[in-house]
Structure 1
């Protein structure tokens, strides 16, 4: 009985208390488990409003203390852009407008004209999942800028630091562009018919990021994936399994040299988030606060 009670307490301590990330921080120091020098984990956002992507003193310090940059993808790969462009194109020979039909085509065209100053004709050769993602980006209610991934990439290139990726371009393409056409059309219909709601949802997500609330961002993302109105695939596939696959790669890199790891901030929180998975491996994760 005592043994059972002890195991129960250990279970609660390890898997209960540590599950929810209380600290509000996008930057985390990784130490312990035999590391001679700390590495750092940073939650990025892939798009942002102009003027909001800044190298804070804390992030600059982490960058200066590390010897390499590891992002979700090896964005220094010269062939990456070509692969992305090729993957975004329709493979069945049908144009987007043919698949959407006249009514939805007109609505999508009007939205693109209003938000981007160009009509659907410019996107007619894309596949539907790519178009759905493009429309989702238009819901950002401010002039858009590239996110932290590109900023960190530029900084690492200028500093001549090695740049690596946690997963291959092929695996990310397979995940992001595997949505069936029926689900993509449902998502597109939701966006054009409920655009103010989509803007509000994206605004909430960005606000969680501004507040550095990685647990709140994960919870919000989970709720979004569970909403049948806007199909996005499986949260387990999109976040949890990728996080699990990244851990051995992260361990290898941080054991070899001090590393700055940048991944989408939604990957940090949750039971199967990168922070908790590294803790379970015995590493100490400390929030770097302003």
Structure 2
């Protein structure tokens, strides 16, 4: 931080900030990277876009020096949701349940429910008795640790948030927990319940698909990652990608058009949001921004 005698008045502080030279990170030779620079249009200092994976084996979360430099040189760190806000983190418990008093038993036959209950008891050591009102897609998320090839998992966002806190960065988000909960409510609970049961019946297949996705993510093989993501038949969420991807990307770009001229940011969101014709990279370019692949190794 510059001495207060130099930047005493607000207008002088703005002038000092404007004189900072933007860092120059090496450009990647192709689009196979998860780290991108946003510049051009009305941006004075570049911002950064990074594609995350929401759950990985803890030992697999390796962040490049270039990524760390980009975060360190950004004024604010943005996630899909403000992970530092107790209203979002603790409030998530409130939004896990289905609306209108619906229960799991409303969507399964006795035989199906018994299969579900036995799976959670035997494989996850969890009783469904206290989870009767939980949205099936929330229960579906509990399966991911079971499919991981390790015992200790973490989230890329959590590691980045820890870095941001240590660097005294302000943390913000594009959405609230209430908004994200509404997305899950937009998919009929009966459809969610069917998807959950299908996951349990095909757990080994989903485990293979998840491990393949993790491998191509770690290798930053964008084409292979997109191929997996486009296999909508294997994932209920992606089958509803207008709600979970396209519409959110459009909304985020609208917000970014207000944010980017004012401050440079480090934006970390799920990698699925970056690529494709409705991805953030394509939408930002459509709005006149320059989005450049950066070396991330």
Is the Cα–Cα contact under 8 Å of residues 183 and 244 in structure 2 kept in the other structure?
yes
Equivalent in the alignment of 2:159: 151
Equivalent in the alignment of 1:8: none
Is the counterpart of residue 277 in structure 1 residue 283 in structure 2?
yes
Q: Secondary structure at the match of 1:51?
A: helix
Equivalent in the alignment of 2:261: 255
Give per-residue Cα distances to partners, 1:38-89, cap 9 Å, x unaligned.
1110001111112112332111111111111011111121211232111112
Equivalent in the alignment of 2:191: 183
TM-aligned CA distance change 1:170 to 1:218, over 3 Å: farther
Q: Secondary structure at the match of 2:142?
A: helix
Equivalent in the alignment of 2:76: 68
CA RMSD of aligned residues (A): 2.3
Q: Secondary structure at the match of 1:165?
A: strand
Pairwise CA distance, 1:120: 2.8
Unaligned runs of 5+ in 2: 1-28
Equivalent in the alignment of 2:37: 29
* Larger deviation, residues 180-189 vs 66-75: 180-189
CA distance in 2, matches of 1:188, 1:63: 37
CA distance in 1, matches of 2:64, 2:46: 19
Higher helix share: 1
TM-aligned CA distance change 1:172 to 1:90, over 3 Å: closer
Is the counterpart of residue 268 in structure 1 residue 274 in structure 2?
yes
Equivalent in the alignment of 1:209: 217
Equivalent in the alignment of 1:231: 236
CA distance in 1, matches of 2:53, 2:69: 19
Pairwise CA distance, 1:230: 5.1
Give per-residue Cα distances to partners, 1:75-121, cap 9 Å, x unaligned.
12121123211111244445435643432233223433444333333
Is the Cα–Cα contact under 8 Å of residues 104 and 132 in structure 2 kept in the other structure?
yes
Equivalent in the alignment of 2:8: none
Number of matched pairs: 267
CA distance in 1, matches of 2:223, 2:261: 27
Unaligned runs of 5+ in 1: 1-20
Equivalent in the alignment of 1:89: 97
